[in-house]
Structure 1
Amino acid sequence: MGQFKVVDAGFMTTVQDLGRYGYQQYGVSVSGAMDHVAAKLANILVGNDENEGLLEATMIGPKVEFLDNAVIAITGGDLQPAINGKSLELNTSIAVNKGDFLSFKGMKTGLRSYIAFAGGIDVPVVMGSKSTFLKAQIGGYEGRTLRAGDILKTGIAPMSVSGIEIAGNFYDYGSAIVELRVVLGPQDDAFTENGVETFFNSKFSVTNNCDRMGYTLTGEKIEHKDGADIISDGISMGAIQVPSSGTPIIMMADRQTTGGYTKIANVITADLPKLAQAKPGDVVVFKKSTIEEAHMLLKNLENKIDEVKKQLYAKNKNIADEIIVNNIKSYNVRVNGKSYAVKVEEL
């Protein structure tokens, strides 16, 4: 076990994992890492379970003093991390010493960085998750963003080693245009033909109104047939609401659990990390996809992450094999005549 002290909290730094599932029926948002791929890779690099708690830093990273030796990894957007002023490589596990300082020079590409600590972050598990849900002030570290002077504990580290490296990012966080594949619905029939064409044929820009709850875009107005209000129904991450103003809003990790505006489409899960790294002013375009393609792309992404784990851990025998296997069983399930590959993890 170890500790680290927050000297400067940066713009917005919270403890997150992969989310708080099973409580949306009670109005509790899923929360979790905005860029789930970067969060998984950071934990993999230090030998943690993929769902372990870590820090999500937005725009301006924190300054941290290590009160004990540790192994860390930083992934996601490049906020230019440094140890004692010396630049660090992303996507690499790094040994740091007691008394070292981690800092960030400023945003270069992307918007969010993920900082994993070998052993994870020792905060209470609330409703099955360490994620911070800011609006309800639950989870994470006292249900809030980190502040200067906070001292956090890390858990018991697995048999991790430094020097593990992932070659390059899974995504190009520096793209001038962010292309998001979407599946139409569930209320695409509430829009005119011209409205749907505008949605797919226009360029939209991310406004300053973009946070963990949602991204408001600006651009051509999307036309409804008879109005934007519906009986409230459930909202998934990536759902694209279009209120009466015709301006699309993409719902993100801290979204409300239900909403009463028409939803024209949903960003596929495999593309959500690209959106999570988009900054104000970035251009967004939408490309039509299908549920079948979305499933295939997500499966390919998960297979790619699994392959990275196998390659990294094969080179580093000190990391326990159970981290790779993790009691996951695979099945093929048929629903309405369609076959799906399903993975089940024993808890």
Structure 2
Amino acid sequence: MGMTANKPGVCTTIQDLGRTGFLGSGFSPSGCMDKRAAIIANLLVDNDPNAPVLEFCLAGPTLRFTTATFIAVTGGDFRPTLDGVPLPAYTALPVKRGSVLSFSAPRAGVYGYLALAGGGPKIERVMGSASTNLKCGIGGWKGRALTTGDYLSFETRSTEFIPNLASHTLEGEASYYEFDSEEVRLRVVAGPQQDMFTQAGIEAFYGSPYQVSTQCDRMGFRLDGPVVETVSGSDIVSDGIALGAVQVPNHGRPIIMLADRQTTGGYAKIGTIASVDIPKLVQSPPGRTVRFDPVSVQEAQELYRRETLHFKALAKMVRRPSYGGISPRKTARRLTPILEAQALASGGQALWIETEETAHHREKRQS
């Protein structure tokens, strides 16, 4: 039981938080471009934060469900509908068997995420991860993006109930991306080759606006704007590339390396984007203005710590007791064996504590 892709959308893949520990073997981590949106989507449907989700870009898929479950949609505003009825984002919602989930082109943002209750799609792990590596053709669904007619099974056959469902909604989370603003500010830690850039080049990088170009994909985002000047070129002996590393090739325009980046590179890196700001970048469409603010390693670590605490607070928030939080059917299933055992143990005696009044009425009936 699962769902069928009636339309695949644009680059709809299975992703989790990434394939870690294999950079030294030449495998990029892959994983979600916007990890914040993926983590929150999984929290909303009571999944592990690293459970696989569907990631789509610029145009979402059309999916038909063959079993009932619960879903949550996060990330860009793709205007989701279920059987033609608009759905709210950042909310866990029930889906019936036979229902059709559709997405439009994004009104804001670039990447969207769909989480499925019960652990997400049933995907075999490759090197410990369900993420799709498109260049290597491994992980995810057959190592590729979805195509029309693909059928994905669910990790759990059917999910009929989420405790405290009314609490599984979050307001204001989309404001993090500042979609209404034409400019986004990204915090940057100084890179390992910053001394290869002139003072004028460093001032241009931190003091000038750049625009997201049309040459953007899961590997990296190229930026248009002022040239970042080097002392004597930007070629180096290849070294490792971290998520968010800002490479500056000889043409002088920054490239920010992302989920499907190469493991090593031979261009100087002027800085590294703080991980908490990566989602703001990847949700920026071509033409959006980007500016950079320098921060220390300690400040970036503190930002990461605060984000981790924020996710823990969200997990508690969506699980708080709420109206409709008890399932009569599940409660009945749990109580039935208990009541049966009590009845057998009582030998026909009353299963409740009698008051003087009820005892009097019982004796009167017996007499």
Identity of aligned residues (%): 42
Aligned to 1:259: 265
Aligned to 1:160: 162
Q: For 1:36-115, what aligned pairs fall within 5 Å after superposition?
A: 36-115=35-114
Equivalent residue in structure 2 for 1:213, among 213, 219, 237: 219
1:172, distance to aligned residue in structure 2 (A): 2.6
Q: Take 1:30 and 1:117, find their aligned partners in 2: how far apart are those partners?
A: 23
* CA offsets 1:191-215 (integer angstroms, 9 cap, x no match): 0000000000111111111010000
Q: 1:5, 1:291 → 2: CA distance?
A: 45
Whole-Å separation in 2 of the counterparts to 1:224 and 1:47: 49
Rounded to whole Å, the distance in 2 between the matches of 1:37 and 1:177 is 20
Per the TM alignment, residue 76 of structure 1 is displaced from its structure 2 partner at its CA by: 0.9
* Cα offset, 1:318, TM superposition: 7.0
Structure 2 match to 1:147? 147
Corresponding residue of 2:127: 127
**In structure 2, what is the equivalent of residue 233 of structure 1?**
239
Matches within 5 A, 1:234-313: 234-313=240-319
Greater fraction of residues in strand: 1
- TM-score, normalising length: structure 1: 0.89
Question: Is the Cα contact below 8 Å between 1:77 and 1:173 reproduced in 2?
Answer: no
- Kindly name which structure, 1 or 2, has the bigger radius of gyration based on alpha carbons: 2
Q: Give the distance between the partners of 1:260 and 1:109, measured in 2 at CA.
A: 35
Query: CA-to-partner distance for each residue in 1:154-200, whole Å, 9 max, x for gaps?
Result: 11267635441011215134131011000011110000000000000
Whole-Å Cα distance in 2 between the matches of residues 28 and 147 of structure 1? 24
1:315 pairs with 307, 313, 321, which one?
Answer: 321
Question: Distance between the aligned counterparts of 1:167 and 1:306, measured in 2?
Answer: 16
Aligned counterpart for 1:196 among listed residues 199, 202, 206: 202
SS at match of 1:288: strand
Structure 1: distance between partners of 2:267 and 2:321? 50
Matched, 1:172 2:177: yes
Q: How far apart, in 1, do the equivalents of 2:57 and 2:295 lie? A: 29
Displacement of 1:105 in angstroms is 2.1
Partners in 1 of 2:273 and 2:162 — Cα distance? 35
**Could you tell me how far apart the structure 2 residues matched to 1:47 and 1:138 are?**
27
Paired with 1:231 and 1:198, the residues of 2 have a C-alpha distance of: 25
Amino acid at match of 1:37: R
Moved more, 149-158 or 42-51: 149-158
1:12 counterpart SS class: coil
Name the structure where helix makes up a greater proportion of residues.
2
TM-score by length of 2: 0.84
Paired residue type of 1:218: D
Contact 1:91 1:168 in 2 (8 A): no
Could you list the runs of 5+ residues in structure 2 that have no partner in the other structure?
A: 328-367
Q: How far did 1:290 drift? A: 0.9
**RMSD after superposition:** 1.4
Q: Secondary structure at the match of 2:97?
A: coil
Kept in 2, the 8 Å contact 1:160–1:318? The answer is no
Letter in 1 for 2:129: S
- Structure 1, unmatched stretches of 5+, are 320-347
Structure 2 residue aligned with 1:21? 20
